[in-house]
Amino acid sequence: MFLQKGVFRGCLKLEKNLYPYDPESKKLPFYLAGIGGSGFQGRVSRPQGYLWHQIFFCGGGSGILEYENNSINIHSGDYFFMPKNFPHCYYPEAENWDIRWVAFDGCACDDTLDKLSMTRPAVISCYDDTAMEKLFDKMVSSQETDILYCGYSCSGYVYEYMIRFHRYMDSEADSGKSKQMSMLLPVLRYMNENFRRDISMTELSDMLGITPQHFCRIFKKNTDKRPNEYLTELRLDEAKRLMSDSTVSIAEAAEKSGFRDAGYFSTVFRKHMGMLPSEYRKKNDS
């Protein structure tokens, strides 16, 4: 059980590495290639990557994970996933760095990881769940006590371990996206209320106290649209509403919905609607 951050029971205090030798296991969809750990993890540098996928857990202390141009602090309670053949390096920040790892592969492993979008390194935090610890314990115990069937039982444990990591990864991503959406709500409300006039990216980003570039990235990530695309859609919806009134000219509808130039309005309208404003009005009047 996770008693508190970095304090554990059972096999998580393992001070050895186990590498099962079972050629038959390699025919399974998933197999345990190795499991182990140390409370005094040293530096590991793998410029060519590792031959198996790995999931690591930090049980205490802190260290650094490096890959590509990333340098990530790993603290107690953090898990990180490293796909096979992916160049990386990790090392402690202090003398005591408690690291546990599970290495795995299998004939269905790569395809499953691809479907789970686990093709790149990932770091997550999990402080209050016992499932990962129990699965780790079961894999160690099976290797030490169940000589005949450990390959088969660990195949299931590896799959469950991998799926649970993915579940936490998704939850963390959803939580981060939810926080960003909450941050964007005042901006979205402002855009919905003021789309009829010119709005600059600087004006919107200043509302959040971030740069226009950072604002555009967050907006696109959370809405699947660029800020200008979102404003254009608001203006087009308003223009279509106005054009449903036959007493409002197309030029007037364009101006009142935020388009300052009727020619530009026609170009944008045709691009999004597949027809000119006049054709749209004729179609909806018939």
What is the reported pLDDT for 127? Answer: 55
pLDDT higher than 80, residue 139: yes
Do both 164 and 34 map to the same domain? Answer: yes
118 in a structural domain: yes
Do both 50 and 106 map to the same domain? Answer: yes
**Smallest Cα–Cα separation from 6: which of 87, 83, 63?**
63
| pLDDT tens-place string over residues 17-75 | 999 988 888 999 999 999 999 999 999 999 999 999 999 999 889 999 999 999 999 98
Do both 163 and 250 map to the same domain? Answer: no
Do both 131 and 248 map to the same domain? Answer: no
Question: What's the start-to-end Cα distance of the chain, in Å?
Answer: 70
Question: φ and ψ at 218, to 5 degrees?
Answer: -65, -45
Q: What is the DSSP letter of 11?
A: G
Do both 81 and 22 map to the same domain? Answer: yes
Segments forming the whole domain that contains residue 278: 195-286
Alpha carbons 215 and 204: distance in angstroms, whole number: 8
Query: How many distinct structural domains can be found in the chain?
Result: 2
| Planar angle of CA 121, 123, 124, nearest 5 degrees | 145
What is the reported pLDDT for 177? Answer: 59
pTM: 0.59
What is the reported pLDDT for 173? Answer: 61
1 in a structural domain: no
Residue 13 confidence class, pLDDT cut points 50, 70, 90: low
